[in-house]
Amino acid sequence: MVRIAVAQFAPGQDKAENARSVAELAARGAAEGADVVLLPEYTMFTAPRTDHRYVKSAEPLDGPFLSAAADTARAEGVHLVLGVNEETVAEDEAGEATHFVNTLVALGPDGGRRALYRKIHLYDAFGVRESDVVRPGPIEEPETFTVDGVVLGLQTCYDLRFPEVTRRIADAGAHVVLLAAQWVPGPLKEDHWRTLARARAIENTVYVAAAGQAAPSGSGGSMVVDPMGTPVAALGEQRFAVASAEVSAARVEEVRTVNPALSLRRFAVTPRELS
């Protein structure tokens, strides 16, 4: 068994304050016996609009924010997964940075990097244009990491609306999909969040652990969903909270015996290049 904690808060524009929140939430998760603590998308820095402030906030993966997160992972003895604004080389004619990469990083209890995921599908929807300042990640084989025999994969926010993303992670052997999000509030958005998280768990017979930002920047509703689609831990609108649940590879195999949808399917997933 592995215990996963989903941590929910509302990151702001003060990166040092966000780092302190990471440390406190990780400590709460560890106190509940968590082996893995999942934090939201844009844990490093969140502003009211996705604009050039995010570009200025970006750091390399060995920068001060992730260095502080690594210290927290070591101090609490947990795997820590969180969303950061990663520097990229995209520049304008004056040599100024124009974009960053929306990256989800998994750190081990020793502070070392276990896996990362650079968001593929950018949130150009519901009146937002993430692509103005975010560079999409490359389409690569999903990275996973293993904790006590449980294989975990990574996914970010808007990707939840694209079932192929989760299917590729399941095909890579994951028992659990760790989903970090800033699920922006809007018409029926909370319903979409719950429905899609449960659907991705059911159709792939995997756990989905989803950590979303709290209001005002996110819709909250962080949860852990089991392979049958049942939420086994959940948060509502809480501004600063942790919920945790145990997951196991044995439960995934049990469900796949009853519902062998992955082995019965007739189609595979192939990349599509956008023009």
Residues assigned a catalytic role:
41, 119, 157
3-state secondary structure of 76: helix
Q: In residues, how long is the chain? A: 275
Q: Give the residue carrying structure tokens 């502070």.
A: 111
Gap between the Cα atoms of 184 and 128, Å rounded: 10
Contact 194, 221 (CB under 8 A): yes
Check if the beta carbon of residue 67 is closer than 8 Å to that of residue 74: no
Q: Is the dihedral of CA 273, 117, 220, 162 positive or negative?
A: positive
DSSP 99-110: -EEEEEEEE-TT
Extract the tokens encoding 179. 């989903």
CA distances from 70 to 50, 66, 110, 142 (A): 26, 6, 8, 22
In 3D space, the residue among 99, 89, 84, 71 whose CA is nearest the CA of residue 44 turns out to be 84
Specify the long-range contacts of residues 45-48, CB closer than 8 Å, at least 24 apart.
Answer: 45/11, 45/12, 45/13, 45/15, 45/18, 45/85, 46/10, 46/11, 46/12, 46/13, 46/182, 46/213, 46/217, 47/13, 48/217
Map residue 130 onto helix, strand or coil: helix
